[in-house]
Amino acid sequence: MKPKIPKLTALLDAIQANTANFQKPIESRIALFTSPKADSHLDGYVVASRDGGGYAFGDTSFFLNIGVVDDLVVARSTTVHEMYHAVQGFYAAERRAKINQATTSSMASCLNSEHLFADLYEEGSARYVEDFALLEQSHSQAAKQMLSDIRDGVANAEDGSTLLDMSVTSLTASQPLPYDDVYAVGFLGHGLRLVVVHQTEPTVREQARYVEAKRVLSPRWYVAARAGYTHVRPDDTDWNFEVVAGLRPNRLQIIKSGHELYREGGDDVEYDHKVTAQLVSTIKLFSHAGNAVIA
C-alpha cells in the first residue's frame, strides 16, 4: 500500500475539505429506500486494504476501502452501497435467528435456500440503491471497471440464472453443499461468469515424441519399428510400440501388417494390443495434351 499513500491521502483530504458535500448526497439516497420510522445507529469506517471497494458483514457496521476506491464519485457510490447493507443488517436479526433454529436436515436445506435468495435480494437491492448512473461522472479506473462489470453482467444474465439453479440444487441435495461454499462462487461478480463448485484442473500441456527405424530387406520387402510417448503430467505418460512388415506388390501399392503395444499411464497402468493390416494404394493422376482445331 505504500506507493498509494499520497493518492489515498489526497482522497481523504478531498472528503474532509467539504464533508457536507460528501455526506449529504449519501444520506439523501439512503433516505429514499429507508422507512422514515427507522431508528437505528450505524457505524461507518474508512480502511485501506488491497481487495474490495467496501465491506459489510450483516450487522450495522460498514467500511469504505480507499485502498481500491480512487476518486470522490466512486467513494460516494461505494459508501451508499455498504451503508445500505448496514441498514439491511438492522432488520436482519429476526431472519438470522430463524436460520439458526433449524432442527432437521430437510429444514436446514429449506432455510438455506431461503437464506440464499434473501442474500441475493440484499446484494441486488444494495446495488440498485448505489445508483450506478453516478459512475458516468467519473473517468477513474475503478469507475470504468465497475461499469464494465455491470454491463457485462446484464449481457450475460442467463449465466447467473444457470448458476442460481445449480446452487439451489446443491443446497437441497441428499448430501448438500455447505451454504458458505455455495454462496462463495459469486453471483454478482464480473460478468456473472458461471463457476462450478469444484476444484478445477490446471491448464493441460501435452508433449509427444517418437523415434522410428526402417530397414529395406529387398526392393519389395521392408520392416520398421516405432516407439513413442505422450506426456501430460509427471504421473501420466502413455507409451506405444509398433513393429511393421511391408510388401510392395507393385509400384503403386503397399501391403502392411504389424503389431502395436499401447501402455496407458496414470494411476492404473493398462496395456492394449492391436494387430493391424493396411493396403495403401497410390492413384496416378493423368493428363492429356493436344491441339484443338476450331472449324
Stronger pLDDT, 207 or 255, i.e. the higher one: 255
Show which of 143, 166, 192 is a domain's final residue. Answer: 192
Query: Would 78 be classed as within a structural domain?
Result: yes
Is 231 found in the same domain as 273? yes
Confidence band, pLDDT 50/70/90 cuts, at residue 152: confident
Is 52 found in the same domain as 159? yes
pLDDT value at residue 36: 81
Report the pLDDT averaged over residues 254-272. Answer: 79
CA atoms within 13 A on the CB side of 226: 13
Q: How many separate domains does the chain show? A: 2
Average pLDDT score, the chain? 77
Show which of 148, 169, 192 is a domain's final residue. Answer: 192
Stronger pLDDT, 194 or 30, i.e. the higher one: 30
Is 223 found in the same domain as 178? no
Is 165 found in the same domain as 130? yes
Give percent above pLDDT 90 in the chain. Answer: 4
Please, what's the b/e burial string for 208-246 (b: 16 or more CB within 10 A of its CB; e: otherwise)? Answer: eeeeeeeeeeeeeebebebeeebeeeeeeebbbebebeb
Query: Would 287 be classed as within a structural domain?
Result: no
Q: Which amino acid type is present at position 191?
A: G
Query: Would 144 be classed as within a structural domain?
Result: yes
Query: Would 230 be classed as within a structural domain?
Result: yes
R_g of the chain computed on alpha carbons? 34
Report the pLDDT averaged over residues 248-253. Answer: 82
Highest mean pLDDT among 23-32, 42-51, 99-108, 149-158: 23-32
59, 34 contact by CB (below 8 A): no
Query: Would 294 be classed as within a structural domain?
Result: no
Confidence band, pLDDT 50/70/90 cuts, at residue 269: low
45, 64 contact by CB (below 8 A): yes
- Domain of residue 226 covers 207-281
Is 156 found in the same domain as 27? yes
Q: Lowest-pLDDT range, 34-38, 72-76, 126-130, 179-183?
A: 179-183
Backbone dihedral angles phi then psi of residue 85, each to the nearest 5 degrees = -60, -35
pLDDT value at residue 173: 81
Query: Would 289 be classed as within a structural domain?
Result: no
